[in-house]
Amino acid sequence: MRKINGYIKTKQLKKMGVNDRQISKLLKEGQLLKLKQGLYRNTDMFLQDQSFLDVCYAMPNAIISDFSALSYYGFTSHIPQEIYATISNKKLPTRIIYPPVVVFRRNITKFKQNVIKVKRDKYSFRIFDMEKVICDTVKNRNKMGMDTMKEALREYLKRKDRNMPKLYETAEKCKVFDELNEILTVMS
């Protein structure tokens, strides 16, 4: 198993001479973790934000979003049990076995500049920037909860790296400018 470092596909295992029975044994012994059909991760691998990496490696077009992004930025005290990810509404979601994931299909074409890439060792994941996450929280406040939205806004406003012009520009694109402006006025 020393040869396996990180993620590996069934095809690569077979090239190494590992057969299906041996793969089952490695899974049973806890040396491999099955992320999706045909994709595994060495269980010795653990990087910061490992679950985000797992989801984005198993579903390369995924962008970490919603509660997971709020948690990543420290905008919520809520720790989600699943990883929340968004994909283009033109793509079909990949069936991921691990970790538990909630996938949203949305029109993300106009938000490409709101996606940032976070590197962890030789791997990376994509996540919406803080401003897009805040706007999505405002937009989905009835589903995510008013308390979650208020907490996220309070935490965002405390940050030195907040970018209010970018927040308002993103709010325009998300069609929540008036709502955000009204909520911020009430909060101040």
Domains and their CATH numbers in the chain: 7-42 (no CATH), 50-187 (3.30.460)
For the chain, the first-to-last Cα distance in angstroms comes to 57
**127: helix, strand or coil:** strand
H/E run at residue 36 = strand 32-36
Q: What is the layout of strands, in order, in the sheet containing 32-36? A: 7-9, 39-42, 32-36
Alpha-carbon span 140 to 159, nearest angstrom: 22
- Res. 85: pLDDT tops 90: yes
pLDDT band at 4; cut points 50, 70, 90 = low
31 and 51 Cβ atoms separated by less than 8 Å? no
pLDDT tens digits for range 129-147: 999 999 999 999 999 999 9
Q: How many alpha carbons fall within 13 Å on the CB side of residue 51?
A: 18
pLDDT digits (tens, 9 = 90+) for 151-183: 999 999 999 999 999 999 999 999 999 999 999
List of residues 6+ apart from 133 with CB closer than 8 A: 65, 66, 69, 70, 73, 75, 152
Per-residue model confidence (pLDDT) at position 3: 62
Using a cut of 0.95, tell me whether the model's pTM lies above it.
no
Q: What are phi and psi of 94, to 5 degrees?
A: -80, 140
